[in-house]
Amino acid sequence: MALVSGIKSVLSGSAEVVLALGIEVQNTVKAIYGADILAGAGWFQRRKDGQAYFFPGQFSDRAGAYFEKVGREKARKAFARWYRNSIENARLCPTAQEFDNKTADLEAQGLMEPTPRSFTDHLNVFDCSKVSDGASAIAIVSEEGLKRCGVSVSDAVEVVGIGHAADDITALPEDLTRLTTVAHAVKQALTSAGITPADLATVETHDCFTIAGILGMEAIGLAPEGKGADFVIEGHTARDGKIPVNTTGGLIGWGHPTGATGVHQAVTIWEQLTGKAGNSQINIPADRPYGLTVNMGGDDRTVVAIVFKKN
């Protein structure tokens, strides 16, 4: 929302240069207390509805529904592959929380069985994003602002599409296997940019949990409904796949300092589209000069999607 507010300020002509900041400190309290604080992004009356960890519980329910839809074995394999991709990408980014992760067999680790008595029914701890401290910042400028800052056009990326959608925070999802608010926001952003998912070179999506990553592929339109697991298992979201996703590790690999996550997604896309991503750099095809960020609030309750274009 800080990014969107800054973008709209520049578009309105009320500002030439806006700095968007994201900051979060989570490690001042134990995880169980932090989970309850973060649950403030959900509907209060369900915060203790059978789950000590609110959002892990919500997305565990989504995972269980997805098991019924596509089969548990396939879904768990997809979760494990998503986890592997996340850590492998994080190992290439020095600022990532999992940069020093040395686990040899990541998919085996990701396949660890959930422990319902101590955590959730359908997700293990490796399916979850990190408790994180972090901060990110990025400048949003007009063409005149670029000149004032002394920044060349080649060192900037263009914002070409924005989508923002919100749903009723008090209501339960109509279908636990669909991220309908994500789908709506992404459709807005792609339509305003005049492109389709096939035009994207890379995506930064809100994988607060592995199941959110899988469902995100379907909501964005990269995979048909019910085929997100196959899409990931087949390697299409890996850094050498059809559409590299979360190239610095995403929320699971890089970390999820919640207030800083959306801004960091924009930083990662900027790095990739300007060739400044270092060891995590991927190829940006000339005919697909676009990157997409998708940032979620709550359990698919409010979503911002932004399309960026390489200059």
How would DSSP label each residue in 64-90?
A: HHHHHHH-HHHHHHHHHHHHHHHHHHH
Which tokens in the block code for residue 214? 């899988």
Tell me what pLDDT residue 203 has: 98
Residue 48 confidence (pLDDT) above 80: no
Q: Which of 42, 7, 291 is nearest to 139 (CA)?
A: 7
Write down the pLDDT at residue 46: 79
- Cα–Cα distance measured from residue 303 to residue 280, given in angstroms and rounded to the nearest whole number: 26
Question: Tell me, what's the pLDDT at 181?
Answer: 98
Distance CA 120, CA 21 (A): 33
Residue 308 tokens, joined: 């960026």
Backbone torsions φ then ψ of 12, nearest 5 degrees: -75, -15
Paired tokens of 276:
């400044």
Q: Which residues contact 172 (CB under 8 A, 6 or more apart)?
A: none
CA triplet 30, 33, 37: central angle to 5 degrees? 130
CATH pick for 2-310 out of 3.90.79.10, 3.40.47.10, 1.10.287.1080, 1.20.1250.20: 3.40.47.10
pLDDT tier at 32 (50, 70, 90 boundaries)? Answer: confident
At 165-200, the pLDDT tens digits run 999 999 999 999 999 999 999 999 999 999 999 999
Domain locations in the chain as residue ranges: 2-310
pTM value? 0.97
Residue 84: predicted pLDDT: 98
**Which segments of the chain does DSSP mark as H helices, in order?**
2-12, 31-38, 54-70, 72-90, 106-110, 143-149, 180-193, 210-220, 228-233, 250-253, 258-274
Cα Rg of the chain (Å, integer):
18
- The pLDDT of 22-41, averaged and rounded, is 92
pLDDT number for residue 20? 97
Q: What is the mean pLDDT of the chain?
A: 96
pLDDT for 143 beyond 80 = yes
